[in-house]
């Protein structure tokens, strides 16, 4: 029994007491550490981290890798949408063509291919190419202007974004005419329907009353060219169709030699303004300025009329005070003596209401008094005048 335990102990000690192995004694071949390039070490983890931080972006990247046609479809939608934001029709049609081509590419790459949608896309592309070709020809035709057209374009249309080809279309209308006038020529007679819109290119045109001969009086108001505002005549018909059936109230007379006036048919000009917003802006700006000046003229005329009415009432009251002061005057020994209180009242009224010295003298003279006699407050009268004055008193 003792021998059995001794053998077991020796066996355990031989198993668990293995000799220690030093690291230096191991012959293990080590690989040198591989050095990653800076791009693979930095860029790739950053891109992966960026994509992983946004699940929707990660999903979009996966879809783009699996089906690149989605990128083409979204790019075409962006181009088509951008085209609708363009004010120039040529840019709109070009971007629409690009959007349709992207849509065709997307439908061709489907499984199975969507040929029906591709055919419709080709129809859209063909229509846009057709109109784009004629737009190109229209904008690259001869853009030469004569001196009158060049002056009108540079003064009234260029500053409002009107392109030369748009202005050329405007002056090529059937109802567009350039006319040259001399001083005293009648451009429009009064009480006749005005079916044209006139714009003074150079010179000056005056609006006169038909009661007097041409140039006999100073015009009520004038229209000036050479880039001045307020050069549109009859432009109200462009914004108010009811005015087209009314007669023009005044006579238009040329005020300066070599005056140039351009005329457009009102209906033709309205159609062009509906199509080209730049032309509409330029015409309406000049028209707006003319409307503002017209309102100012009307307001000034009404103001002058009201001022004249008020002054007339003041003079009538002033005359009544003078007449009352003369009636209250005392007559003694052929001398008419005014009451100092009445004279003070007349003087204070004239000062407060702006009665001029000439108006005072005229009204006093109307009652057969001079200003010296009125200032002295006394007047010597003959026996016959004294008798009549006594009767009136």
Place of tokens 């102990």: 9
* Sequence-separated (6 or more) residues with CB below 8 Å from residue 347: none
Cβ–Cβ < 8 Å for 73, 106: yes
191-249 residue pLDDT tens: 888 888 888 888 999 888 888 888 888 888 888 887 666 678 887 777 777 777 678 88
* Sequence-separated (6 or more) residues with CB below 8 Å from residue 160: 278, 281, 282, 285
Predicted confidence at residue 171, as pLDDT, reads: 82
Lowest mean pLDDT among 133-147, 251-265, 308-322: 133-147
95 pLDDT band (50/70/90 cuts)? Answer: very high
Alpha carbon distance 282, 21 (integer Å): 100
pTM exceeding the 0.75 threshold for the entire prediction: no
Asked whether residue 21 carries a pLDDT value surpassing 70, the answer given is no
288-332 residue pLDDT tens: 655 565 556 555 655 655 666 677 788 888 888 888 888 888 888
29 pLDDT band (50/70/90 cuts)? Answer: very low
3-state secondary structure of 50: helix
Predicted confidence at residue 197, as pLDDT, reads: 85
Alpha carbon distance 52, 54 (integer Å): 5
392 pLDDT band (50/70/90 cuts)? Answer: very low
Predicted confidence at residue 1, as pLDDT, reads: 41
């Amino acid at each position: 029994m003792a021998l059995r335990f001794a053998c077991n102990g020796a066996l355990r000690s031989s198993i668990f007491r293995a000799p220690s192995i030093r690291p230096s004694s191991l012959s293990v071949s080590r690989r040198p550490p591989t050095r990653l390039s800076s791009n693979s070490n930095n860029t790739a983890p950053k891109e992966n981290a960026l994509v992983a931080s946004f699940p929707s972006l990660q999903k979009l990247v996966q879809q783009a890798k699996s089906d690149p046609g989605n990128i083409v479809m979204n790019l075409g939608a962006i181009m088509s949408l951008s085209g609708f934001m363009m004010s120039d029709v040529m840019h709109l049609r070009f971007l629409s063509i690009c959007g349709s081509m992207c849509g065709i590419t997307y439908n061709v790459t489907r499984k199975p291919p969507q040929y029906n949608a591709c055919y419709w896309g080709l129809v859209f592309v063909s229509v846009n190419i057709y109109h784009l070709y004629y737009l190109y020809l229209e904008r690259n035709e001869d853009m030469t202007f004569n001196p009158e057209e060049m002056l009108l374009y540079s003064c009234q249309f260029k500053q409002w974004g009107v392109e030369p080809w748009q202005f050329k279309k405007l002056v090529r209308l059937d109802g567009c005419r350039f006319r040259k006038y001399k001083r005293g020529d009648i451009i429009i007679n009064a009480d006749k329907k005005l079916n044209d819109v006139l714009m003074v290119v150079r010179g000056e045109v005056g609006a006169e009353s038909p009661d007097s001969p041409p140039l006999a009086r100073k015009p009520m108001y004038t229209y000036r060219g050479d880039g001045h505002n307020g050069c549109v005549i009859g432009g109200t018909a462009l914004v108010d169709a009811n005015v087209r059936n009314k007669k023009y109230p005044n006579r238009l007379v040329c005020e300066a030699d070599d005056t140039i006036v351009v005329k457009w048919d009102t209906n033709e000009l309205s159609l062009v303004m509906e199509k080209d917003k730049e032309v509409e802006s330029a015409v309406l700006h000049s028209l707006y300025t003319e409307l503002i000046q017209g309102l100012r003229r009307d307001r000034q005329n009404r103001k002058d009329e009201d001022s004249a009415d008020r002054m007339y009432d003041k003079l009538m009251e002033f005359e009544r005070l003078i007449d009352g002061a003369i009636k209250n005057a005392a007559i003694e020994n052929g001398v008419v003596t005014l009451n100092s209180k009445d004279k003070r009242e007349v003087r204070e009224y004239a000062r407060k209401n702006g009665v001029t010295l000439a108006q005072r003298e005229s009204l006093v003279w109307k009652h057969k008094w001079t200003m010296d006699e009125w200032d002295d407050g006394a007047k010597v009268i003959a026996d016959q005048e004294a008798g009549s004055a006594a009767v009136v008193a």
